[in-house]
Amino acid sequence: LDLVAADRDGLGSGAVRAFLGHPAGPADAAVDPRQQLPLAVPVWCVHGTDDDIVPITQSREYVAAAVAAGGRAELVEVSGDHFVVIDPTSEAWARTVQIFDEIA
């Protein structure tokens, strides 16, 4: 959600630099969600509280920045790790599906 911060913090064992091919910066606005704020559509971030790959602060700070920029954004914190939101047997998955049902 914030490529500059993710690159600075070395998240994903250098995933940002591997993706971009260089350090993240202002020139990457087209692919950096944080630099695209505010969005014209609402955003829901679903994030596991025990995520040790992408810290929950990434989602918290993104949502705060989106709201401060005049956008509509909400953070849904769920119990679990990085992959819990894509595990169809988890409560987090059920909550994610519920969000989709609410906005559809």
Together in a domain, 4 and 20: yes
- What is the reported pLDDT for 58? 97
Asked whether the predicted pLDDT for residue 104 surpasses 90, the reply is: no
Together in a domain, 32 and 42: no
* Per-residue burial over 26-42, b = 16 or more CB atoms within 10 Å of its CB, e = otherwise: eebeeebbbbebeeeee
Together in a domain, 96 and 83: yes
- What is the reported pLDDT for 35? 96
Number of domains composing the chain? 2
Provide mean pLDDT across the span 73-102: 95
Q: Which residue has the tokens 């956008």?
A: 71
Together in a domain, 63 and 98: yes
- What is the reported pLDDT for 76? 96
Together in a domain, 14 and 50: no
Together in a domain, 17 and 62: no
DSSP 27-82: GGGGG-GGGGPSPSS-EEEEEETT-SSS-HHHHHHHHHHHHHTT--EEEEEESS-T
Together in a domain, 51 and 11: no
Asked whether the predicted pLDDT for residue 96 surpasses 90, the reply is: yes
Together in a domain, 61 and 104: yes
Provide the domain limits for residue 26.
1-36
Give the pLDDT confidence of 5-61 residue by residue, as tens digits.
Answer: 999 999 999 999 999 999 999 999 999 999 999 999 999 999 999 999 999 999 999
